[in-house]
Structures are given as C-alpha cells and as structure tokens.
C-alpha cells in the first residue's frame, strides 16, 4: 500500500470541508482504504474534528476504513441480478478466491462484497470491480477474469476483452434521439430572459422525471422568489433498483444535460451548477468532464461555476435534501422539510434539484418549442419519458415512451415473456398483477401509474415472495437510520413478511403487516420510509391470494409457531443432545 | 360479583415487576377485594387448576422452560399482559442477543475472576432448562393482549391497569406511562 502522506495526495483540492467526499476518494484511490492515521492528518488539514470524517466514511458503502483488497469486487444484489444468476457468480468467485462473500483473501489482493442495484439491470448479472462495471458476467468470464488479474492484467483491458463493457441498447426513441454537436448556437440565441424560459417550461407541462413529478417550471419560479445567490443541482444518483435511463442519458446526451442545467441557471439567475453523480457511475466521470470542458467555448456554459460531485454509495442520497447534505461533504441524511431546497438548499442558498432526464428535456423543450413537446402525453403528464425495462423480456433496455402508454403496450414493446408481475417505478413504486387484463389497461402517468423510469417484468416462473423479500431487504439495507419508523419499521416489516412466507403466519399477521405499513409510511421523515411499505401494501392488493395461501387459519391464533429445536440447537451443540 | 382470578409469573425477569406489585402497599388491600391470586409466586401455586381471567407475565423468554410456561399461561388465561420492559422487549437479558451463546456462557461462568481453572463448569443438567439462542419478547411467541410499559411499571400503574380492566377496558393516564 501507498505510504504517501495525505497532504501530498490531496494537494490539488481546495481546503474546503464541503469537498470531504473528494478528499476521501483521493485518499482511498491512493491508499486502498482510509486509515485512522489518514483521518487524523485529514482532520488537521481541514481543521475539522476526526469524528466528522469518521461519520462520513461509515455512512457510504464505498468508503473503507479497513483494507478491502487491491481489487474490491461488489456484486449487484438487485432482484434482476438474482434472477440472472448472481448467486452462482458469487459462488464461483468464492471458490476461485477461497473466501466467503464479505471477506478478503489472505494476500489482500481480492475482497468480495455485495451491493445494491448498480444500474445495470439490462445487462445482469453485473459487478463493480474497483468501481469499474463488469456486465453480463458468466462463470467462464469470472474464472478468466481472476486468472488474468492474478497475472497482473489491466482491469479496463479485461473489461473489453471479456466483453463486459456496459452498452446502452435503445429500442425506441421519440424526442431525445438526435445527437447535438457541441455548438448549438441556435438554442441560446433564442433564450431571451429568465421569465420567458420559465414560461416556456410551464407551458410545456414538464414535470420532474426523478419520481415525484413536481412541475419543473413551478419549482424554478418558487426558487426565484428567494434572494440569491441561487444554485442548480442535477440529481444523477439514479439509485432506484431497475433504473438505468440516466446512465444512458449521461453517456449519450451529456451535452443536452449540461445545456439543460445552463438554461435552468439562466432561468433562476444562478452562477453555480452541480452534477451529483452516483459512485456506481464513476466510469462516466471522465466522459462528463470531457464533454463539459468541450462546452466551455460557449459563453452560456462558461459563465457558470461547475462541479461534478462523485457520490460514494447510498440510495437515500437520491432524496434531494440528502443529496444536498452529501454535496456539502456530509452524511447523506435527509433534512427536515420545510424549508424546501428552493428556499434553503446547498449551503443554505435557494436551490433547484432536478433529475438528469428533466434537464435533458428542458433542452429539448427550448429547442423544439413547448407545443411539440405537449403533443405527447396526457393532460396531467405532458411529453415523453424514458423507461428502463429489465427482467423477463426479450428486449431489455431503453425505451422512450409517451406518458399515458398502457402497460399492455409496454409489455408488447419489450417482448414480455408470460408476465406474472410488473413492478412499476422500482421497489418504492407499485406491484401490478399482469395476469389481470384490466390492470394491463392502466396507463403510465401521474394520474394513474407514476414511475421514475424503472420497469421490471417477472414471468410466471418467478416466485413473487422472493421478489418482495429482495425489495424489503433493499430498504432495510438502505435506510439511513435517521428516523426510527424507517430504521426499525422496515426491519419489522421484513421479519413479519418472512414469518408469513415461512408459513408461520396467522390471520392477524396480515393485519399487523398492514398496520405497520401505515405506521412506517405516515411517520417516516423522507420518501424512503414513506414508500418502502408499498412493497407490502401494493402486493397485498395485487396478489391477495398468495398471502392467504400462506396463512393457516386452522391453527390456534393465540400460540404462535416457534421452532424450538432451532432455538435450542446452539445449546445442544455446546452440551451434546442428551446432556451427558 | 365473584372475584376475578389473576395469575402471575416471572420468566427471564429480575422480579422487579413483582416487587412493584408489592409496592402497591394499601392499594393491594383494595385490590384483594376484587381479585383472587391463582398461580403466582405470591401464592406459591405452581400449576393451573382452573381457567384464569388475567395473566401477568414478567420477563422475556430465555430458555425452554420459560417457553412452556408462557404457552401454559396463554392456554389458561383469558387476557394476557406483558408486564414491564423485559416481557415487552427482552430487557437487560436481551443484551446477550448479539453474542453467540457459547461465548456468552463462557464469559459468564468461566471467564469470571471467581472461576477456578479446570474445576468450574458451565452448569448443565437434564433437569435444568435449555438456554435459547436468544431472549425473545413474549409477543413473538404468543398473542399478548396488553403491554404495561416501565422498568418496572409502578405499583400504581399495575393497580390502575387491573382495576380498569375489570371495569371493561385497560386504560391508564398517559402521564403515568410516559417515561422520557
Ligand atoms: C429515497 C429517495 C431516492 C431518490 N432517488 C432519486 C434518484 O436517484 N434520482 C432522482 O432524480 N430523484 C430521486 N429522488 C427524488 C428526489 O428527491 C427529487 O424529487 C428529484 O430529484 C427532483 O427532480 P425532478 O423534479 O426533476 O424529478 C429520490 C427520492 C427519494 C425519497
Ligand atoms: S425515512 Fe428512512 S431513509 Fe428517510 S430519513 Fe428516515 S431513516 Fe432515513
Ligand atoms: S423484570 Fe420487570 S422490567 Fe425487567
């Protein structure tokens, strides 16, 4: 490991605690992990307390305070990856390396770990190795990979040789398709003044694409009410399992994205713009810097102070106020709201936070005019949106669809294979029973079935409870722990669900699941806890029979099933079955 | 009106809740007009002879004997109440829940200063209950109808709880059970 001193490693960074994440990445890249001594030195350098650094390191999945292996391998645990065989991949890694998942080889060369969805559901199973994605893994590829890494081959070269480089497969594109070259003078000569921009966006009916669907123009207008300096932030945290459309937009349409942000900056008269990129997309960082540098020729871009902030692994940071905390170099815990970010956002300044796709669409609206955008979609859901489709379909990948499209039509587009269940909008979205024809007539729209872009299809061969338990485990893992209903409530829900699935449930357990769901939804601080119980509530509505099936009403409802033998097995092991 | 029958037991508790019962002082005399103790450490009756109206459980479930007693209570009591922190959440005994059982027993019996090398053993015998892998709160094993919070709940709270229950529904003023 590297013996360089911290001050040398971070020489290029400004002495600013809000850049703490950058500091930690720099140290970790140089040294493999962040040691107590590094923390001590960094604390002195930044004139902050060591605890302030430790609390940040321990919050994020990808910061290590212990050695994690020269090659740290993170296996995607999303349900799509599970169905695509990530467990087998894990076994192959385990056997080839001689370690269990969660451990490091004795020579510290390899560490094997698990992580939540890495945004590669269209190319599952996938893993991150030193933050480089390896997609479409097979057992053969894994074996070759390990041999070659031991031999000293380059990761990036192997990624290519083994055909593991992420691809973006676009099956349908309606509005976003054309590539802009770097100089689109035609666009910004039209941009007259802030009010006109906002009016154009309001007329377009554009609503946020990150999930909540707040009207974009209105958000900007609200922000303008508060005195500047104001800030533009792009949310590229894309953490909802099954979503990968931002990955595509960041790769193929970064120019439109940066222009969208620049237009927003103009609209709210801001000179500061931040792009918060999830750590799983580290591999896009150079590309984004490259595009941004190229665009600097344009005064519209040049007059803004830009920063691309790399995250460090935490789903909850996608929540906008948590994202701002993280951008300030802190733990990504959601803030109490109000005040909303439009009033007090990044470092207390009025801030707009928008999704990647929202900004890309802003560019398109200004380029083509709001009428051409409005002609798509429904009354309340104007325009088009990107879907990330994965699971049991013949054509997984990216689809730009008009809002208002029916589920049936989406299933036809992507070639769904005897679908049983559709999860619209990821685990925090809605579970749909695909065997009920009337359900398939429902429309993707804010009026009926909103979605942040995740669309997972599961065939009749899949076990629904396995899927639901994977989702609940995701929320247990990703709860930031700030508020009790979510921290403890999701564990309770997960345990109760397991109890039912294991066949120990009684009729009152179903009621209890519903009651707990309400408690967690109504009392959690942020959208994570407010929506995680939807895994239970929406699936109970969609598939009541599978729950009923698990309940044995004949048994006494007063004395619960309990595996006494299992509970005493530790004791028996210590003293022998018969107490001799 | 005939007196209601009440049974009590201490499982993995410290008898603190039962001490609280005795702390009722004169209140206990009032109560005795309304209830009659059945199986309970207070009467030293060790098995159920009749059906009982109210069962009070102190302590969580840490061994197989606790488990069987708890089930016995559930089978014989119309209303079952978890009395105190240990019954409700496992309490102090549940601090061992994150430690493997063998480690826990070794530390408790062999790792202490009073242990004598090669002579002290971890007590075990077929007549002794088997320790469970962890301490369970009562409501994970049987249906519990009411929970009386506190560590221990005060005598006043227990008296109020019983009296109100006899009148119909268990109600206690919030001030009495708000601890923070
Ligand atoms: C737990 C949680 C995770 C979220 N993750 C994301 C995300 O990854 N990307 C995103 O754009 N919005 C995410 N959001 C929504 C944001 O809070 C916010 O509404 C959005 O970025 C606003 O942009 P928009 O109006 O353009 O949609 C998340 C919200 C919650 C509660
Ligand atoms: S709801 Fe969950 S994720 Fe959100 S603040 Fe509370 S603990 Fe954190
Ligand atoms: S024994 Fe009563 S609270 Fe623990």
| Cα–Cα distance, B86 to B80 (Å, whole number) | 15
Q: What is the DSSP letter of B39?
A: S
For residue B138, give the 3-state DSSP assignment: helix
pLDDT digits (tens, 9 = 90+) for A476-528: 999 999 999 999 999 999 999 999 999 888 888 899 999 999 999 999 999 99
Q: Which residues of B touch A571 (CB under 8 A)?
A: 101, 130-133
Percent of chain B with pLDDT over 90: 86
- Output the CA A522–ligand 1 centroid distance in Å: 19
Which residues of chain A have a CB within 8 Å of the CB of B142? Answer: 558-560
Residue B170 φ/ψ region, left for φ over 0, alpha for ψ in the -120 to 50 degree band, beta for the rest: beta
* Domain locations in chain B as residue ranges: 4-176
Any ligand 2 atom below 6 A from CB of A316:
yes
CA A334/CA A525 separation, integer angstroms? 8
Q: Which has more pLDDT, B169 or A310? A: A310
Nearest CA to ligand 1 atom 4: A318
Residue B93: CB within 6 Å of ligand 3? no
Q: A478 in ligand 1 pocket by Cβ < 6 Å? A: no
Q: Locate the chain A residue with the closest alpha carbon to B136.
A: A567
Give the closest-approach CA distance of B44 to chain A in angstroms: 25
Please state, in angstroms and rounded to a whole number, the distance separating the CA atoms of residues B74 and B56.
Answer: 10
Q: What is the pLDDT of residue A580?
A: 43
Rounded Cα distance, A358 and A210, in Å? 8
* Ligand with smallest separation from the Cα of B85: 3
Last residue of a domain, one of A414, A440, A461: A461
Residue B153 DSSP code: P
Residue A94 lies in a domain: yes
Q: What is the pLDDT of residues B31-58, one digit of tens each?
A: 999 999 999 999 999 999 999 999 999 9
Is A580 inside any structural domain?
no
Å from B6 to nearest chain A CA? 19
Give the residues of chain A that fall short of pLDDT 50.
182, 579-580
Query: Does A421 lie in the same domain as A545?
Result: no
Count of pairs with CB atoms under 8 A, one residue in A, one in B: 54
Ligand 2: does its nearest atom lie under 6 Å from the Cβ of A159?
no
In this structure, are A255 and A342 located in the same domain? yes
Report, as an integer, the average pLDDT of B48-76. Answer: 97
What does the DSSP 8-state code read for residue A64?
A: -
pLDDT tens track for A412-421:
999 999 999 9
Distance of CA A101 to the CA centre of its chain: 22
Q: Are residues A268 and A293 in the same domain?
A: yes
- DSSP 8-state assignment for residue B142: B
Q: Which residue of B has its CA nearest to A564?
A: B64
**Domain region containing A146:** 71-161
Q: Are A320 and A450 in a shared domain?
A: no
Give the list of residues 6+ apart from residue A269 with CB closer than 8 angstroms, or none.
Answer: A194, A224, A228, A230
Please enumerate residues of A whose Cβ is less than 8 A from a Cβ of B.
508, 557-560, 562, 564, 566-575, 578-579
* Ligand 3 neighbour B13 (Cβ under 6 A): yes
Task: Using CB atoms, pick whichever of B71, B101, B126 lies closest to residue A570.
Answer: B101
Rounded to two decimals, the ipTM of the complex is: 0.91
Output the domain CATH number for residue A111: 3.40.30.10
User: Could A571 and B126 be called an inter-chain contact, meaning their C-beta atoms sit closer than 8 Å?
Assistant: no
Alpha carbon of A569: minimum distance to chain B alpha carbons (Å): 8
Question: From the CA of A26, how far away is ligand 2's center (Å)?
Answer: 29
Residue-level pLDDT at A186: 54
Q: State how far the Cα of A225 lies from the Cα of A61, in Å rounded to an integer.
A: 37
Using CA positions, which residue lies closest to atom 8 of ligand 2?
Answer: A480
State whether the beta carbon of B12 lies less than 6 angstroms from ligand 3.
no
Contacts of B140 in chain A (CB under 8 A): 560, 562
Q: What pLDDT is attached to residue A481?
A: 94
Task: List the residue whose alpha carbon is closest to atom 4 of ligand 3.
Answer: B86
Q: Indicate the residue among A435, A461, A487 that finishes a domain.
A: A461
What residue owns the CA closest to ligand 1's atom 2? A319
For chain B, the average pLDDT equals 94
- What is the C-alpha separation between A270 and B127, in angstroms, rounded? 78
Nearest to A559 among B122, B134, B142 (CB): B142
Let me know whether A142 and A200 are in one domain.
no
> Is residue B115 over pLDDT 60?
yes
Choose among B105, B125, B142: nearest Cβ to A574: B105
What's the rounded Cα separation, in Å, for the pair A194 and A230?
13
pLDDT (0 to 100) of residue B174: 86
For B130, the closest of A508, A562, A571 (CB atoms) is A571
Looking at the CA of residue A530, tell me the nearest atom of ligand 2: 1
Res A177: pLDDT: 79
Cis bond upstream, residue A348 (ω within 30): no
Do residues A146 and A195 share a domain?
no
Cα distance from B137 to chain A (closest Cα, Å)?
A: 13
Distance CA A169, CA A249 (A): 12
Whose atoms come closest to the Cα of A491: which ligand? 2
- Chain A CA closest to residue B68: A564
Pairing type for strands A384-391 and A351-355 reads unpaired
If asked whether residues A299 and A367 sit together in one domain, one would say: yes
The position carrying tokens 């004795």 is A106
Number of domains within chain A: 5
Specify the CATH class of B4-176 in words: alpha beta
Are A243 and A329 found together in one domain?
yes
Tokens of A210: 């990150």
CATH at A530: 1.20.1440.230
């Amino acid at each position: 490991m590297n013996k360089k001193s911290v001050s040398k490693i971070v020489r290029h960074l400004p002495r600013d605690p809000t850049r703490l994440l950058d500091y930690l990445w720099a140290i970790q890249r140089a040294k493999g992990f962040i040691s107590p001594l590094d923390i001590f030195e960094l604390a002195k350098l930044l004139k902050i307390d060591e605890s302030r650094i430790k609390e940040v390191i321990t919050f994020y999945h990808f910061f290590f305070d212990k050695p994690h292996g020269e090659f740290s391998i993170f296996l995607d645990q999303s349900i799509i990856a599970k169905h695509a065989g990530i467990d087998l991949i894990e076994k192959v890694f385990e056997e080839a390396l001689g370690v269990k998942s969660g451990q490091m080889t004795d020579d510290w060369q390899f560490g094997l770990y698990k992580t939540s969805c890495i945004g590669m559901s269209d190319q599952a199973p996938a893993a991150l190795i030193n933050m480089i994605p390896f997609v479409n893994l097979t057992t053969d590829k894994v074996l070759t990979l390990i041999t070659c890494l031991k031999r000293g081959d380059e990761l990036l070269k192997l990624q290519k040789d083994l055909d593991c480089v992420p691809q973006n497969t676009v099956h349908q594109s309606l509005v976003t398709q054309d590539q802009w070259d770097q100089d689109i003078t035609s666009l910004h000569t039209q941009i007259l003044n802030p009010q006109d921009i906002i009016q154009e966006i309001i007329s377009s009916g554009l609503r946020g694409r990150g999930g909540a669907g707040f009207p974009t123009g209105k958000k900007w207008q609200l922000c303008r009410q508060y005195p500047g300096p104001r800030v533009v932030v792009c949310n590229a945290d894309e953490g909802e399992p099954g979503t990968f459309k931002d990955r595509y937009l960041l790769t193929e349409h970064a120019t439109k994205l940066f222009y969208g942000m620049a237009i927003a900056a103009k609209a709210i008269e801001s000179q500061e713009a931040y792009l918060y990129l999830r750590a799983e997309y580290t591999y896009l960082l150079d590309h984004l810097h490259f595009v941004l540098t190229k665009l600097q020729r344009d005064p519209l871009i040049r007059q803004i102070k830009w920063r691309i902030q790399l995250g460090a692994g935490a789903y909850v940071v996608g929540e906008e106020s948590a994202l701002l905390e993280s951008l300030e170099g802190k733990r990504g815990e959601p803030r109490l709201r109000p005040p909303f970010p439009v009033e007090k956002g990044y470092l207390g300044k009025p801030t707009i936070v928008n999704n990647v796709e929202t900004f890309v669409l802003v560019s398109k609206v200004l380029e083509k005019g709001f009428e051409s955008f409005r002609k798509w979609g429904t009354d309340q859901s104007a325009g088009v949106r990107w879907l990330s489709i994965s699971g049991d379909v013949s054509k997984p990948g990216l689809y730009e669809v008009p809002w208002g499209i029916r589920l049936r039509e989406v299933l036809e587009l992507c070639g769904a294979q005897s679908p049983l269940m559709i999860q619209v909008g990821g685990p925090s979205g809605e579970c749909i029973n695909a065997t009920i024809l009337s359900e398939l007539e429902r429309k993707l729209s804010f009026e009926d079935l909103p979605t942040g872009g995740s669309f997972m299809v599961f065939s009749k061969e899949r076990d629904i409870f396995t899927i639901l338990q994977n989702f609940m485990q995701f929320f247990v893992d990703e709860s930031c722990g700030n508020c009790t209903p979510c921290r403890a409530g999701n564990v309770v829900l997960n345990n109760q669900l397991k109890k039912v699935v294991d066949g120990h449930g009684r009729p009152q357990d179903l009621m209890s699941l519903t009651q707990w769901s309400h408690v967690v939804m109504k009392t959690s601080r942020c959208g994570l806890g407010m929506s995680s119980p939807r895994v239970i509530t929406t699936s109970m509505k969609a598939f009541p029979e599978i729950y009923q099936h698990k309940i044995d009403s004949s048994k006494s409802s007063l004395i619960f099933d309990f595996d006494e033998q299992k509970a005493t097995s530790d004791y028996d092991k210590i003293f022998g079955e018969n107490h001799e | 009106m005939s007196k209601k029958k009440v049974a009590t037991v201490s499982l993995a508790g410290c008898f603190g809740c039962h001490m609280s019962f005795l702390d009722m002082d004169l209140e206990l005399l009032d109560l005795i007009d309304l209830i009659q103790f059945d199986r309970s450490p207070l009467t030293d009756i060790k098995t159920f002879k009749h059906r009982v109206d109210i069962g009070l459980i102190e302590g969580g479930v840490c061994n197989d004997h606790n488990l069987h007693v708890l089930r016995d209570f559930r089978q014989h009591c119309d209303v079952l109440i978890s009395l105190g922190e240990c019954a409700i959440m496992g309490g102090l005994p549940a601090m061992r829940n994150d430690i493997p059982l063998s480690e826990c027993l070794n530390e408790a019996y062999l790792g202490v200063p009073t242990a004598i090398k090669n002579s002290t053993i971890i007590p075990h015998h077929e007549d002794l209950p088997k320790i469970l892998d962890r301490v369970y709160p009562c409501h994970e094993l049987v249906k519990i109808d009411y929970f009386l919070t506190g560590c221990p709940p005060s005598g006043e709270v227990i008296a109020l709880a019983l009296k109100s229950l006899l009148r119909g529904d268990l109600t206690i003023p919030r001030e009495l059970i708000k601890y923070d």
